[in-house]
Amino acid sequence: MVDVAPRRLGQMAEEGKFLAGVMSLADYLRLQDRFERIGPLGVAVRGRVGSALLFSRKPLRQLDGACVAVTDETSTTALLLRVILEQRYHLTVRLAPHAHPTQQDADAVLLIGDEALRFGSVNRLYPFEIDVAFEWWLWQHLPCVFAVWAIRADAGASTKREVSEALQRTLAVNLRRLDELVIQPAASLHVPAEDLTMYLSRFIYRLSAEEERAIQRFAQLSQSMA
């Protein structure tokens, strides 16, 4: 078992270094000739997510020509931001890796996950906070799918079945004990436990037909930019 950021997991997938995992949607679409989905399992949200955030010095529509610093943890959210800026707002920006949100002078910074949650609670540098998932929701009226569970296509049938069954069991158990699971991460993130429980409850972990439609739409839009 390994715990790595989504972008690094995508690199490991390309290098053939892991069997199964919760793959960034952008990486899965890029590597789907080598991987297959594990049932309907994934990570999606309908509306605001609160942890895929663009912190900006300017309103979103004024970012044409801006430099946007992007966390090195993301694959899907960075591509999603490009799709929204270029195809919804017809803006051109320069995406650049960031060192730390407080140590660079970019016009905006894109953060995800724990990094976004931490920085959002102390941010005094960027007056505008844009939830990228909510922007997608307003534009496409579809869920935002961040990741899907996938396994190597060449894995044995029994292995695929065992992994799928284990994930289904674990998800069923853990969704019933979110209050218990958030205690330790809430302390490290300096976030009230009840807020973290509410945050995790927003996600969709078993994807429905609406999420599948969203995946296809994202694939169409992102492929048109290649």
**Is 29's pLDDT higher than 80?**
yes
DSSP assigned state of 143: P
Residue 107 main-chain phi, psi, to 5 deg? -70, -25
Residue in this structure with the two tokens 């270029």, named with its chain if needed: 86
Which token pair is 7? 């972008």
pLDDT at 102: 58
Q: How many CB atoms lie within 10 A of CB 225?
A: 10
Quick one: average pLDDT of 44-58? Answer: 93
Confidence of residue 226 (pLDDT cuts 50, 70, 90): low
Q: Over the chain, what is the mean pLDDT? A: 90
Helix axes 76-83, 209-223, angle to 10 degrees: 70
pLDDT one-digit tens code per residue, 82-135: 999 999 999 999 888 775 655 567 899 999 888 888 887 788 889 999 999 999
pLDDT digits (tens, 9 = 90+) for 158-200: 999 999 999 999 999 999 999 999 998 888 888 889 988 988 9
Half-sphere exposure of 48 (CA within 13 A, CB side): 8
d(CA 113, CA 225): 25
Instruction: Report the relative pairing of strands 67-70 and 94-97 from DSSP bridges.
Output: parallel
Report how far residue 216's alpha carbon sits from residue 209's, in angstroms, rounded to the nearest whole number.
11
* pLDDT value, residue 82: 92
> CA nearest 9: which of 53, 70, 74, 81?
74
What gap in Å lies between CA 35 and CA 155, rounded to an integer? 9
pLDDT in the model for residue 101: 58
d(CA 81, CA 182): 29
List, in order of start, the domains of the chain with CATH numbers. Answer: 6-46+143-220 (3.40.190.10), 52-139 (3.40.190.10)
Tokens of 5: 């950021």
Report the range of poorest mean pLDDT among 102-106, 145-149, 219-223. 102-106
pLDDT at 125: 86
